[in-house]
Chains A and B, each alone.
Chain A
């Protein structure tokens, strides 16, 4: 019986552990210094906002691990001795392994700003960050968030829920400017304003100001403006959490370099999730993808390989989702922030300015390559198939009702979308009008 050790109890590590257990009787140990049990990192914001308690974020009950003979060890790992197959904890204890899966996740970026280590300045990635945020925001009236991405907007919502005034600095001309096209960015900008978030576009952080006692008392922007605040959220992205592996024989770049089997350069050592960097990523994917779904997919893939069925990591059509305050976002395939010359797009926005869809297609043959949808839920299965099958724009727009995943009784926008499509493209696809009975009986 071999001993499999998994470093990290996030979605990647835990998915690996669960799937390994399905196939073998090997000993499995999951090590984490962050928490006793697996919890959903994506739900941290809901704990702060009071939607849930920490225990609600645990996807499995505590008895689950013993029942499935998955040993849990709470420890921080200081370094790894790959030659003698040992992990060394912060208290200098040694843990041996036969095979090792590294799933160490990410850490928040900092870019060397003056004052970035003051009390009240932090990112939000792990449970310790959340605890710290809970403590440091107790009497905060005003906060500044730096960095327009998903964690930034989550932090804005969290602080806003406690009645803290939020000023939000973003470097680009719109929210999440390196990912979202202009119109979607504008839609979210408006929604943030609706929630009284003081959004400052094209504004960069110069320094964080010390109150003289080691806490933050304000920030200064590159243009010289000083904004008073008692909390600064630094949400300028994350990077693989691999600093402790820098002086080992493990091959690393930005992340731990892995081949298509998620194996590192060292035999019996694998890396998955946020910390892994694909040496040769498929053309439609990036080498490092720090999202939940990738961690899960890599976890189930590496479990196959480790249990005797070598399996290549083959991520399919890209998908992701998020929620910006009240507006849900889903994306399937590729919708770049700026289109290249070979692509065009069809954009529809609802009259209330809170829902839109944006479909990107190839100029040459109208094959759809991706969609962004805001405020309208879409069926993953349908879009996955359409994108795999290379359906054209007119096909997709005509069959849009099939992809709708909104709850019953919700207003359906397909007729409006189809109408606009017909007008813009001089096409004459049939406009869908589901009858009352069709809507009830789906």
Chain B
């Protein structure tokens, strides 16, 4: 992964000595590496390891403390993001159909109409997540798992080159997980880059060819079987998420330059 562009293609996104954090305390510390185009990458790590922080930085919600992210020509519109905590007001009076249709924003914008072709695509997305029967129900009437399907249907319509999922399978039953994994593998087959923060190691082993094991710093990054070894997982579990209030200034970069 870090060896660069063997096949000559640009990566989807590159981290260049990236440090992210809150109030100067790093949550992600000096990360360097490429996410190849078309990768299906799982990000794994303990609580507080910086997984969600990394995704937030990728969508531009968090400015790096140092280092940078190279998007290789991708724009913010090329990136779709499903956050861990959605701020969605589920009591809002909006139908499932309308909610999913907002995935077309990039095409219809603030005032474009939804014509027959668009409506057919929305119907197709609803069909893909098995929600056709509920299209006209208000979103407030859905269960947690059904609502997660709605969000996936919206992602489907966003038609993004890079898709970031932060713990997409929380509070979702086994059957729904299978359906949603099916969508993720479909995106992968279409050549999209998919990055998902996950906790279920077995699921990652079965469905994600590549894994980034994070513990504030990169513990391991590469092919999943090589990353998720007992030794690495043990190191990940021993990660101490506490923030040292009296931490001194990091001199990592100076040390590297003089070396």
Chains A and B are bound partners: no
Question: What is the interface of chain B, defined by CB distance below 8 A to chain A?
Answer: none
Question: What is the interface of chain A, defined by CB distance below 8 A to chain B?
Answer: none
